[in-house]
Amino acid sequence: MRQLFNYLKKIFPTLLWTAFFLGIFALVCFLYDVPVQPAVYAAQVALVFGALAVMIGFFRFRRKSMELEKIREDIVLAEELPEPEDSVEEVYQDMVRVLRQKMAEMEEKDRSSYREMIEYYTLWAHQIKTPIAAMRLLLQQEDSDRNRELLSELFKIEQYVLMVLQYLRLESESSDLVLKTQNLDDIIRQAVKKYAPLFIRKKLTLVYEPVNCQVLTDEKWLEFVLEQILSNAIKYTKRGSVAVYMDDREEKTLVIADTGIGIAAEDVPRVFEKGFTGYNGRYDKRSTGIGLYLCRRVLNRLSHTIRIESEPGQGTRVYINLDTVNLQP
């Protein structure tokens, strides 16, 4: 029905002119006293052929509209447009082809610039590891409060560099996922061991007992997620504890809970947005709003899910469901 309305709208001026000329024909027949029967017969023949022309034109219009609709659904892959019906339409199609060519050139230029940027930052992230390692060796030569403080800050720098590398890997077209059945306790222990100095420095208690759970996941990426969550828990917990345990209510759901400052209720729905820092970000000027965003992206690739429950002043609980219900090969 919509196509019929559009077609009638297109040919409406032609129909008006046809009606105008039919009126002139009838007026001439009346003025020259032409018998009614031949005039009516001529009008009927004209109307029949006119109706046939309208029907044929509508079917051609409908077929062409369907072709254009199909092209619009996949305009990137569409190579050929329908045959133009007149010179004006041919000019428009030439303009479309020129625009498509220019768009393809711009996209290729953007892809090339993006690849160069990724290569540069990847090279930078790898090169900066050398001076970081050298600084760590120098600081470890003397055990003092000052050196322990500097080692703690150096560890944060290493984690930020790791975050950059993981971000670049997520943005790249290839993926280095290696999915295997893993012992969850081994992954948790590796993450906890890395952050043990920060637990000791801030005098926080770690509450953890083996979870005895096997999960289908990527060890490296899941460990990265756990490290980011532990980092946030330590950063926003001044005193108390951080607990790691399995949720009794949900199968294969790991919980990381802290007794920190918590998250404002209005911020909880947005904590996984890229660059969102919320109230806590204004409290801690160093917050980037990238960590939890990367966590959700990584877990989505692994077909895991993540959600957060929190109350200001009461702490935060992060739930990671480790089922792989929608895993794509």
273-296 pLDDT, tens digit each: 887 776 665 555 556 678 889 899
Q: How confident is the model at residue 15, as a pLDDT?
A: 81
CB contact set of 294 (below 8 Å; sequence gap of 6+): 163, 166, 167, 170, 224, 228
pLDDT at 92 over 70: yes
287-324 pLDDT, tens digit each: 667 888 989 999 998 889 999 999 888 899 999 999 87
Mean local confidence (pLDDT), 2-31? 80
Question: 148 pLDDT band (50/70/90 cuts)?
Answer: confident
Q: How confident is the model at residue 316, as a pLDDT?
A: 93
Q: How confident is the model at residue 281, as a pLDDT?
A: 57
Task: Tell me which of 71-75, 229-233, 234-238 is least confident.
Answer: 71-75
Q: How confident is the model at residue 13, as a pLDDT?
A: 83
Half-sphere exposure of 92 (CA within 13 A, CB side): 9
- Report pTM: 0.64
Question: 328 pLDDT band (50/70/90 cuts)?
Answer: low
List, as one string, the DSSP characters of 270-291: GTTSTT--HHHHHHSTT--S-H
Mean local confidence (pLDDT), 7-26? 81
Edge-first strand order for the sheet with 205-208 is 205-208, 241-246, 253-258, 315-321, 305-311
109-146 pLDDT, tens digit each: 888 888 888 888 888 888 888 888 898 888 888 888 88
Amino acid at site 311: E
Radius of gyration of the chain (CA): 35
CB contact set of 37 (below 8 Å; sequence gap of 6+): none
Q: How confident is the model at residue 284, as a pLDDT?
A: 57
Mean local confidence (pLDDT), 60-77? 71
Q: How confident is the model at residue 317, as a pLDDT?
A: 94
Q: How confident is the model at residue 79, as a pLDDT?
A: 61
Closest to 305 in 3D by CA, of 215, 185, 232: 215
Length of the chain: 329
158-192 pLDDT, tens digit each: 888 888 888 887 776 556 778 889 999 999 999 99
- Beta carbons of 298 and 290 less than 8 angstroms apart: no
Which residues are 256's β-sheet partners? Answer: 244, 318
